């Protein structure tokens, strides 16, 4: 009989904490959730105050028997699932299943999987926090109601298998809104004028940019305005009017929260949100390090706090002063955001002495990249500011003004280790250095360079910028961003072009139907307000069923109203100009799992269907034929000549450029058969690895 039984979610986490405890302690894994709402029905008894109808998850029967047996044979049961609302709910479900051993059961949490943290948690057990459980139940029940009530409307009016969700639908709306904004955008002309000037004393050249007239800023919008200014400045003397020197500080970024880690991993190392969270989970749960065994390398990776413990702060101080010197250390505290739950520390390394380079051999390539990012970001957050000497020069050409700015690094501070948002870590830009100049000094004009530009539309969202937007608008929480974006990609509501998120036609149709019929639910402000209510429940300030009651009444009326209005509305398929090559009927546009396609309206008598071939304006750079856009099974775009493979072999990942001509022998970077073979091999490899795990 074991003295202690500790239940965690995963085998990796179990293996890590086993070594911190005595031999009479048994550590087992629940393999995530043990109970959930049924998939086959709503699973919420709306007639009896929204009581959830939880069932044991299919396939976990033997595991549940094993857990019950282990609990019966232990003197004390500690449920050590993750320290957040989801983890608290898993703990509550486990306690419910093991209710016969209720007196033995207690709850422990730790923010990092280290010997000290685990042993301290075991000494300080607590009861399950029912407020946190209720907050998770409220989210689960509300999202189930929204999804299961709205999705059937999509099934009837678009196609089966579609889904709607409170957060995912708002995320799609943001992406569609941005795309429509880009399509409506009308570029406006503007001009900049640059003067290349020379300091006769040092013989050094530098560039100054046109600012305005008589000290007032002027925006230039036409060639005519440029020509008027050029008439004056081409003949003018260039005299330095004013030189301002100052010192500028650049402060380090705070340590990572979940969302900032996701954003930075996307920007700097090209990870998707899903990949970032998966790798972070592994680093948190434990990695085998020679002479140390299995150790958790980072603190809990689902947090919205930038707070760090005094113990970690002191360890960082020692490491920084020993490595870089005392001038490089600064004791920094970071304020929590207004809506931050602040339940856990920021994401940081658990062992400061385990530098990324030292343990690189023990990590996978991707683990090393993310660990290095987390480690350096945390260390930099406790370092001194970088200091620049800056110089701003105002130059007059008659009554017109030009400005030139320059800066040099005086003290690198935190930038010796980490710079936010750039891949050139440790490098400091020395661009914009100006020669030693004096006020009233005359400069020689080498040339004037007017440049025409046009305003750009707002950029499409990337995973990183969408997470930032969702966080700023208060939509979702750190744990929801990755599954939300993964879901809308899998549903084909959006797709990726390079790193940009673009709505599909299916996504636009679903979005239009939802915002026209469920305005109050598919609403940014409503979704943000709901998140605040979940926080109130977690604090014990509001009963969760009261919140569901207040939501359900108006929502159900809205659903019934929409169903009635759409009852006699039939979606008529759009007719194409393509005849069916089997029966001659004009084919219609349909929407399937992979998007829009052509189908014969004579189904089921005629089952003919064919893909829609997209083309681009640029001709084939080899033969001048039409270039088609095709997609691999993983939805990656490539470009192929319509004459391939009969008389032309042009095929490329990259869109041909306007006017590009390829002559003679060409090494094509792929062929269609190889694309599909590679993708099948990649999928097979992933499946095999998954089975091994």
Give the active site residues: 300
* Total residue length of the chain: 693
3-state secondary structure 298-334: ECCCCCCCCCCCHHHHHHHHHHHHHHCCHHHECCCCC
Both tokens of 388, joined, read 């620049």
How do strand 216-217 and strand 205-213 relate by DSSP bridges? antiparallel
**What is the token pair recorded at 397?**
């050409």
Q: How far apart are CA 319 and CA 344, in angstroms?
A: 23
- Tokens for 368, please give them: 């090393």
Residue 442 phi/psi, 5-degree rounding, is -90, 140
Neighbours of 557 (CB within 10 A): 10
Do the strands 105-107 and 25-29 form a parallel or antiparallel pair, or are they unpaired? unpaired
Q: What is the DSSP string of 246-271?
A: EEEEEPPPPPB-HHHHHHHHHHHH--
Which of these, 296, 593, 242, 631, lies nearest to 440 by C-alpha position? 242
Unique residue bearing structure tokens 């990609």: 489
Distance CA 402, CA 208 (A): 6
Q: Residue 683 and residue 494: Cα distance in Å, rounded?
A: 22
Q: Nearest to residue 629, comparing CAs of 606, 659, 652, 657?
A: 652
DSSP structure string for 340-355: ----SPPB-BS-TT--
Bridge partners, residue 552, by sequence: none
Per-residue tokens: 208 = 């100054």
* Alpha carbons 328 and 382: distance in angstroms, whole number: 9
According to DSSP, residue 241 is labeled: E
CB atoms inside a 10 Å sphere around CB 70: 18
Q: Are 538 and 339 in contact (CB under 8 A)?
A: no
478: nearest Cα among 487, 489, 470, 488: 470
Sign of CA dihedral 650, 654, 655, 657: negative
Strand-pair category, 609-611 with 637-641: unpaired
Look at residues 257, 249, 248, 263 and name the one whose alpha carbon lies nearest to residue 420.
263
Inter-residue contact 53 to 137 (CB < 8 Å): no
Strands 76-79 and 4-8: parallel
């Amino acid at each position: 009989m074991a003295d202690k039984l500790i239940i965690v979610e995963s085998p990796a986490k179990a293996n890590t904490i086993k070594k911190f405890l005595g031999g009479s302690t048994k550590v087992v894994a629940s393999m995530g959730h043990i109970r959930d709402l049924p998939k086959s029905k709503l699973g919420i008894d709306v007639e009896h105050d929204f009581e959830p109808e939880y069932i044991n998850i299919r396939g976990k029967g033997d595991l549940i028997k094993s857990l019950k047996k282990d609990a019966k044979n232990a003197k004390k049961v500690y449920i050590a699932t993750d320290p957040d609302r989801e983890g608290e709910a898993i703990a509550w479900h486990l306690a419910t299943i093991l209710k016969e051993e209720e007196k033995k059961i207690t709850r422990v949490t730790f923010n990092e999987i280290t010997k000290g943290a685990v042993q301290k948690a075991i000494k300080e057990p607590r009861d399950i926090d029912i407020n946190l459980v209720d907050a998770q139940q409220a989210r689960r029940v509300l999202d189930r109601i929204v999804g299961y009530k709205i999705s059937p409307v999509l099934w009837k009016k678009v196609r089966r298998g579609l889904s709607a969700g409170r957060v995912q639908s708002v995320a799609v709306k943001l992406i569609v809104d941005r795309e429509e904004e880009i399509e409506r955008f009308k570029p406006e002309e503007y001009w900049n004028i640059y003067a290349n000037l020379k300091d006769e004393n040092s013989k050094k050249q530098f560039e100054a940019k046109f600012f305005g007239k008589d000290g007032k800023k002027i925006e230039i919008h036409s060639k005519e305005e440029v020509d008027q200014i050029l008439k004056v400045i081409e003949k003018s003397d260039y005299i330095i009017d004013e030189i301002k020197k100052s010192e500028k500080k650049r402060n380090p970024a705070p340590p990572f929260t979940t969302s900032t880690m996701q954003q930075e991993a996307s920007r700097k190392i090209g990870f998707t949100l899903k990949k970032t969270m998966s790798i972070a989970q592994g680093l948190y749960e434990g990695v085998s390090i020679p002479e140390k065994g299995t150790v958790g390398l980072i603190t809990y990776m689902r947090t919205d706090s930038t707070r760090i413990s005094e113990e970690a702060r002191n360890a960082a101080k020692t490491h920084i002063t020993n490595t870089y010197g005392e001038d490089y250390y600064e004791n920094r505290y970071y304020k929590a955001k207004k809506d931050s739950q602040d339940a856990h520390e920021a994401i940081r390394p658990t062992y400061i002495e385990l530098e990324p380079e030292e343990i690189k051999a023990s990590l996978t390539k991707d683990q090393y990249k993310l660990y290095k990012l987390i480690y350096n970001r945390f260390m930099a957050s406790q370092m001194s500011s970088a200091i620049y000497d800056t110089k701003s020069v105002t130059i007059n050409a008659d009554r017109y003004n030009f400005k030139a700015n320059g800066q040099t690094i005086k003290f690198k501070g935190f930038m010796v280790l980490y710079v936010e948002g750039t891949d050139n870590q440790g490098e400091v830009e020395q661009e914009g250095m100006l020669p030693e100049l004096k006020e009233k000094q005359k400069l020689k004009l080498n040339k004037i360079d007017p440049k025409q530009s046009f305003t750009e539309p707002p950029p499409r969202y990337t995973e990183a910028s969408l997470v930032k937007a969702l966080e700023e608008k208060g939509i979702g929480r750190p744990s929801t961003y990755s599954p939300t974006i993964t879901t809308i990609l899998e549903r084909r509501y959006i797709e990726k072009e390079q790193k940009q998120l673009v709505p599909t036609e299916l996504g636009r149709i679903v979005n239009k139907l939802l915002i026209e019929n469920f305005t109050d639910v598919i609403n940014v402000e409503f979704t943000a307000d709901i998140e605040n209510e979940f926080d109130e429940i977690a604090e014990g300030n509001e009963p969760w069923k009261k919140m569901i009651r207040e939501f359900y009444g108006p929502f159900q009326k809205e659903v019934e109203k929409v169903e009635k209005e759409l009852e006699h509305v039939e979606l008529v398929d759009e007719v194409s100009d393509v005849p069916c090559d089997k029966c001659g009927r004009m084919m219609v546009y349909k929407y399937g799992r992979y998007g829009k396609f052509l189908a014969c309206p004579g189904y089921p008598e005629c089952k003919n269907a064919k893909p829609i071939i997209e083309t681009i304006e640029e001709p084939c750079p080899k033969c001048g034929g039409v270039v088609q856009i095709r997609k691999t099974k993983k939805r990656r775009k490539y470009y192929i000549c319509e004459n391939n493979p009969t008389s032309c072999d042009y095929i490329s990942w990259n869109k041909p450029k306007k006017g590009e001509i390829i002559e003679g022998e060409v090494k094509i970077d792929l062929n269609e058969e190889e694309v599909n073979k590679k993708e099948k091999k990649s999928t097979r490899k992933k499946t095999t690895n998954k089975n091994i795990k």
